[in-house]
Amino acid sequence: MKNLVRAFLGIGSNLGDSQEILVTAIDKIDEVTAVSGLYETAPIGGPEQDSYLNLVVEINTAFPPRELLGFCQDLEQDAGRVRKERWGPRTLDVDVLLYGDLTLNDPDLIIPHPRMFERAFVLYPLSELGPEFLSEDWEASVADQAITRLGDWSNFT
């Protein structure tokens, strides 16, 4: 039996039926142990676009980090994601945020995610599932970013 690793995925959508896209993606993840509340957030960077629906999923996974990244990219492809422009609108975005206590800095995979501590749409949902990963003053670092908690994930499935 393989050892399981506690990992966190950041998931968001702002094209199509975002709520249904998120439900479908999460249903395809076998190892889910918890799902944060659902948040609506303004886009950061990129072109003018609609708000995002975001959440964080906690999993216990046997996938090594690169296989987990590949699985995340498969979820995006299944949702019809097209990578046209950096930080552009997307049907689904799935990022590996944390993978156990691993620190990795490769060109195609950086863990912890390199911008997670700058993003309200990651920190607020992560604070529900893994507050031990956040500094005491994490909210101050994202105080200028608009974010609204829409409710518990169970209310949307």
Mean pLDDT of 133-156: 95
Tokens of 129: 């599932």
**Is residue 81 flagged as an active site residue?**
yes
Asked if residue 2 has pLDDT above 90, the reply is no
**Angstrom distance (rounded) from CA 129 to CA 56:** 8
- Tens-digit pLDDT profile for residues 74-115: 999 988 777 666 666 889 999 999 999 999 999 999 999 999
- How high does pLDDT run on average in the chain? 92
Check: CB of residue 141 under 8 Å from CB of residue 117: yes
pLDDT of residue 1: 52
From the list 17, 30, 83, 93, the catalytic residue is 93
Q: Please pick, among 78, 81, 83, 144, the residue that the annotation labels catalytic.
A: 81
User: Where residue 44 falls among pLDDT bands split at 50, 70, 90?
Assistant: confident
Catalytic site includes residue 83: no
Q: Which of 50, 74, 86, 90 is catalytic?
A: 90
Percent of the chain with pLDDT over 70: 96
Q: Determine whether 115 is an active site residue.
A: no
Average pLDDT over residues 39-67: 92
Closest by CA position to 22, among listed 35, 37, 12: 12
Question: Which pTM value belongs to this model?
Answer: 0.94
Domain count, the chain: 1
Out of 78, 95, 106, 149, pick the active-site residue.
95
- 49 pLDDT above the threshold of 90: no
Tokens of 131: 């507050």
Domain CATH code at residue 96: 3.30.70.560
Which range of residues forms the domain containing residue 69?
5-155
Tokens of 133: 């990963």
